Amino acid sequence: MSPRLVLAVVAGVLLGAGGMWLAVAPAPSPATPPQVQAVGVTPVPAPVAATDVEAIRAAVRQELHAAAIPPPAPAPAVAVAPAPEKGEDAPTDEADAAPPSPEFIGAKDVVEEGLSRRTWSTEDRRQLQELLPRLLPAEREQLAKQLIAAANRGELVVDVAGPLF
C-alpha cells in the first residue's frame, strides 16, 4: 500500500468517527449559573405566587384609587334665552344686520351665474378670486359653502383644474 492511500483511509476513518460522535452525542445540559452562598447572609425562599384572589383585588383597588384622577369640575350652568315669540324680531348677527358689500353682490352674481349654467370655469374662478379679498369673512364663508355644496351634490360640473376659488 502506498503511503497516500493509508493517509486517505486514516483521514476518512477519523472524519467518519468524528461525525458519528457528533450525531449520537448527548445534548448538552442547559447552563445554570452556579449557586454562590454569600457569607453572613441567610438564604431567602423564592416568593410564592399569591392565590388569594380577594387580596389581589383589594390591592388593585387600592392602587387604582391612589392613582385616580379627580373628575373635572361641573361646567357652570349657562342661561338659555327664551325663544322669541312670533311677534318679536329675532336677534341677528352683525354680518346679517349689516348690508352686504357691493363686492359681495358681484361675487354672489358670479356664483349664481355658474350655478344657473351648472358649470364652473376658470373664468368664473378668476372673477371670484378678484372679489374674495374684499369680502367680509362671513360673506366669503357663505359663498364658499354654496359653491362647494353644489359641486359635492353634483349640481355643478367643475371644468377647473385645482381649487374652485
pLDDT of 2: 83
Tell me the whole-structure pTM to 2 decimals. 0.42
pLDDT of 95: 47
Is pLDDT at 141 greater than 70 in this prediction? yes
Rg (CA), the chain: 44
Determine the straight-line distance between the first and last CA of the chain, rounded to whole angstroms.
101
Which of 165, 162, 160, 163 shows the shortest CA–CA distance to 122? 160
Query: Half-sphere exposure (CA, 13 Å, Cβ side) for 132?
Result: 14
Is pLDDT at 54 greater than 70 in this prediction? yes
